[in-house]
Amino acid sequence: MEIYLIIMLILMICGSLFSLHAKDLLSAVISYGIVGFGLVISFLLLQAPDLAIVQVVIEIVTLVIMIAVIKDTTEVQDKQTASFSQFIYLLVLLLFTIAFYLAFDKISGSLSPFGQHTTRMATAYTQGVHETGSANLVTGIVFGFRGYDTLGEATVLFTAVIGVLTILRLKGKKGE
Amino acid sequence: MKGMTIIVRKVTQFIAPIIFLFGLYIVFYGHLTPGGGFAGGVIMASAFILQILANGEILDKLRQEESGLEFLESGAILGFLIIAGLGLIISSSFVFFSNFINKGIVGKLLSAGMIPLENIIVGTEVCAAITTIFIALVVFKDEVAL
Amino acid sequence: MIPFILCLILFLIGLYGIITQKNLIKIIIGLAIMEYSVNLFLIMIGYIEGGTAPIFAEKFHLNNYVDPLPQAMILTAIVIGLATTALLLAMAIRLYRKYGTFDIRKINSLKG
Amino acid sequence: MKKITLFIILFLIWMAFSFNLETANILSGVFAALLTTLIFSSRFLTSWKKFYNPVRYFWLIIYIIIFVWECIKANFDVAYRVLSPRMPIKPGIVKVHSSLKTEIAKVILANSITMTPGTITVDIIDSDLYVHWIYVKSDDPAYYTKKIIGRFETLLKRIFE
């Protein structure tokens, strides 16, 4: 079980590296799809079918939108020359890596090892079938115990749509 | 926006209603099987996206559709708030998001009180939002060039 | 412990993309990769070896579910992720229409 | 009438999805199929009468059997070409003239050609199919038309026309 997850993660890492170094944008976007669909299979391996269903459709929609955006642009990335700013970027990246690694080292002591999770918090939720009446526990939590979060999520989605329309629409609705 | 070849268009005629129906199924059975409002809403939106991509739509018609979708989306959020507020007014416990309808038997379609209603409303909202984003990004992109 | 470390590496690759790449689309891709790795990390924390998917079935009463709380949180985060990606892409389109390129160095020098 | 046809098909698909016979399920199925019909019926097929003709379904079953058989044969052919060390391939695009009239029959024919390994339909323009073939056996139009679509075409004419 764990070994399959490791294989999927290595595939995702390869896909992301290729995606960031691809010459033209179309192959970058398509190999970005590897990461998303690898994530879908990882969700299935981790027993989260709800998330797998959402992620697979979202990934397709994201790919369609991205390809629609870059479709009629023919930009090829020119060779990056080593310069002073490049050196600074790498230094910043190294500092970030060290900081994240130290933080991860600190918290990994309090994390239980992979697959040995003890559901301290979620015991009430897993027993809550008869409280919400929903056989799918995830839906029961999303709408029952944590309705406020869902309300906030709906608001964020609405705001994002308004933002997209505001940015993209030049003419008014009257068409003047 | 131009459409695609006849093969794609003819197959879309059959596939798009079935995809939409499957999205509705995911929404209606969200409290029994994997899925729910979010997944079903995105699947329903993908049926519309498939139709727009395959047939190629006229810009003016899409403008009308888009304003209708905005109306649907705002209405869905309002409905969500009303359902949440009903718990405050009607139920005896006076809590926001109170699940006051009879729960029924776990595993039947008519169970879980308010959760199917909330599923349907969130599905409508997500479907409208993602279709609007797609129309804006793909169609209004051409408009900016004018 | 190895999956957690690989997840951290995926996060750092996304960060590397944001810091070093010059193309707007690739910066957006880097951001999306970071988001994916965080989602996967949170789901991994909740996994129990041999646990079943959190769906209650009447027939067999084994209470060995995977933790449903992170799944419910990530479910909303995925949809929000699509919305933020779309917003970023909209800004990229506007910049492309104005300056004719996705390269941030050229956009910086053309500004004014 | 077109709407009723679509409604019946969608309702049957709904029952196949959910697979139980409770009243609530049937009512929600009717609602869902009605909603889908109202939204999508304007783009659905126009020739609804052919759906209620049982003879066409008989030919459809025979078509599926023949299609599976052709598929297996083509699979072995392509496997031989891939595995043999001399690589006996001669790819090219041929223009096949089809005598089918309706659009849906042409699309089904194109999809059948695509699904058999070794041949891919690139495009349909009027009644000509442009087919990419892994080994173009001859330049004679009559020969390759018979070779590629010969068996499918007569059956499709019985199913759709």
Three-state secondary structure of chain A? CHHHHHHHHHHHHHHHHHHHHCCEHHHHHHHHHHHHHHHHHHHHHCCCHHHHHHHHHHHHHHHHHHHHHHCCCCCECCCCCCCHHHHHHHHHHHHHHHHHHHHHHHHCCCCCCCCECCCCCCHHHHCCHHHHCCCEHHHHHHHHHCHHHHHHHHHHHHHHHHHHHHHHCCCCCCCC
Chains touching B by CB (3 or more pairs below 8 Å): A, C, D
- Sequence letter at residue C101: T
Burial class (CB in 10 A: 0-12, 13-18, 19+), D86: exposed
pLDDT at residue B100 above 50?
Answer: yes
Domain range annotation of chain C: 2-56+65-110
Cα D100 off chain centre by: 13
Is A147–B97 a contact, with Cβ atoms under 8 angstroms apart?
Answer: yes
**Contact (CB, 8 A) for A167 and C96:** no
Task: Name the least confident of A68-77, A144-153, B12-21, D120-129.
Answer: A68-77
Q: How close A91 gets to chain C, by Cα (Å)?
A: 10
Does any domain span residue A133? yes
B108's tokens: 């039947």
Average pLDDT over residues B21-33: 86
Instruction: Write down the pLDDT at residue A80.
Output: 61
D160's tokens: 């759709």
Chains touching A by CB (3 or more pairs below 8 Å): B, C
CA distances, B8 to each of A58, B3, B54, B127, D22 (Å): 22, 9, 6, 23, 37
pLDDT at residue B82 above 50?
Answer: yes
Instruction: Write down the pLDDT at residue C1.
Output: 77
Does any domain span residue A3? yes
- Sequence letter at residue C35: E
**CB of C60 less than 8 A from some CB of B:** no
CA distances, B131 to each of A82, B45, B67 (Å): 43, 6, 11
- Give the residue from chain A lying closest to B74, CA to CA: A158
Residue B103 vs residue D130, higher pLDDT = D130
D128-133, strands of its sheet edge to edge? D92-97, D128-133, D119-125
**Contact (CB, 8 A) for D123 and D93:** no
What is the full DSSP assignment across D70-100?
Answer: HHHHHHHHHHHHHHSTT---B-EEEEEE---
- Going by pLDDT thresholds of 50, 70 and 90, the confidence category of residue A153 is confident
pLDDT at residue C69 above 80?
Answer: yes
Rounded CA-CA distance B101/D107 in Å is 50
Q: CA dihedral in degrees (A121, A126, A130, A131; nearest 10)?
A: 30
**Contact (CB, 8 A) for C21 and A17:** no
Burial class (CB in 10 A: 0-12, 13-18, 19+), A53: buried
* Interval D99-110: pLDDT, tens: 777 788 888 888
pLDDT at residue B145 above 50?
Answer: no
Is C94–B141 a contact, with Cβ atoms under 8 angstroms apart?
Answer: no
Rounded CA-CA distance B100/B91 in Å is 6
Average pLDDT over residues C8-12: 89
Which percentage of chain A shows pLDDT scores above 90? Answer: 3
**CB of C58 less than 8 A from some CB of B:** yes
Burial class (CB in 10 A: 0-12, 13-18, 19+), B8: middle
Rounded CA-CA distance D89/A121 in Å is 63
Kindly provide the ipTM of the predicted complex, given to two decimals: 0.85
H or E segment to which residue D129 belongs: strand D128-133
pLDDT at residue A174 above 60?
Answer: no
Rounded CA-CA distance B83/B118 in Å is 8
> Which residues on C lie below 8 Å from A60 (Cβ)?
none
* Interval D47-102: pLDDT, tens: 666 777 777 888 888 888 888 888 898 888 888 888 888 877 778 888 888 777 77
Burial class (CB in 10 A: 0-12, 13-18, 19+), A81: exposed
Average pLDDT over residues D32-60: 78
H or E segment to which residue B117 belongs: helix B115-145
Residue with tokens 């359902």: B83
**Contact (CB, 8 A) for D29 and D15:** yes
Q: Do chains D and A touch (3 or more CB pairs under 8 A)?
A: no
Radius of gyration of chain A (CA): 22
pLDDT at residue C13 above 80?
Answer: yes
**Helix, strand or coil, per DSSP, at residue C103:** strand
Average pLDDT over residues B82-102: 72
Domain range annotation of chain B: 6-145
> Which residues on B lie below 8 Å from C100 (Cβ)?
none
- Kindly report the average pLDDT of chain C as a whole number: 83
Average pLDDT over residues A124-133: 69
Instruction: Write down the pLDDT at residue C61.
Output: 60
Instruction: Write down the pLDDT at residue D115.
Output: 84
- Going by pLDDT thresholds of 50, 70 and 90, the confidence category of residue A121 is low
pLDDT at residue A55 above 80?
Answer: yes
Q: How close A26 gets to chain B, by Cα (Å)?
A: 16
Task: Name the least confident of A38-47, B106-115, C62-71, D11-20.
Answer: B106-115
Cα B81 off chain centre by: 17
- Going by pLDDT thresholds of 50, 70 and 90, the confidence category of residue C62 is low
pLDDT at residue A172 above 60?
Answer: no
Is A144–B99 a contact, with Cβ atoms under 8 angstroms apart?
Answer: yes
B90 DSSP assignment = T
Rounded CA-CA distance A75/C107 in Å is 14
Does any domain span residue A80? no
A66 and A127 housed in the same domain: no
What's the total number of domains in chain A?
Answer: 2
- Give the residue from chain B lying closest to D35, CA to CA: B21
pLDDT at residue B104 above 80?
Answer: no
pLDDT at residue D125 above 60?
Answer: yes
Instruction: Write down the pLDDT at residue A40.
Output: 92
* Interval A25-50: pLDDT, tens: 888 888 998 998 999 998 888 888 88
**CB of A37 less than 8 A from some CB of C:** no
Instruction: Write down the pLDDT at residue B98.
Output: 66
Residue ranges making up the domain that contains A141: 121-169
- Going by pLDDT thresholds of 50, 70 and 90, the confidence category of residue B146 is very low
Which percentage of chain A shows pLDDT scores above 70? Answer: 82
**Helix, strand or coil, per DSSP, at residue C28:** helix
Instruction: Write down the pLDDT at residue B70.
Output: 81
What is the full DSSP assignment across D18-60?
Answer: H----HHHHHHHHHHHHHHHHHHGGGS-S--GGGG-HHHHHHH
Domain range annotation of chain D: 2-49, 53-160
Q: Is C2-56+65-110 a domain of CATH 1.10.3080.10? A: no
Residue C56 vs residue D11, higher pLDDT = D11
Residue B143 vs residue D7, higher pLDDT = D7
B1's tokens: 């926006």
Identify which of B33, B126, B141 has the shortest CB distance to residue C79: B126
- Kindly report the average pLDDT of chain B as a whole number: 79
- Going by pLDDT thresholds of 50, 70 and 90, the confidence category of residue B30 is confident
Is C79–B133 a contact, with Cβ atoms under 8 angstroms apart?
Answer: no
Is C56–B106 a contact, with Cβ atoms under 8 angstroms apart?
Answer: yes
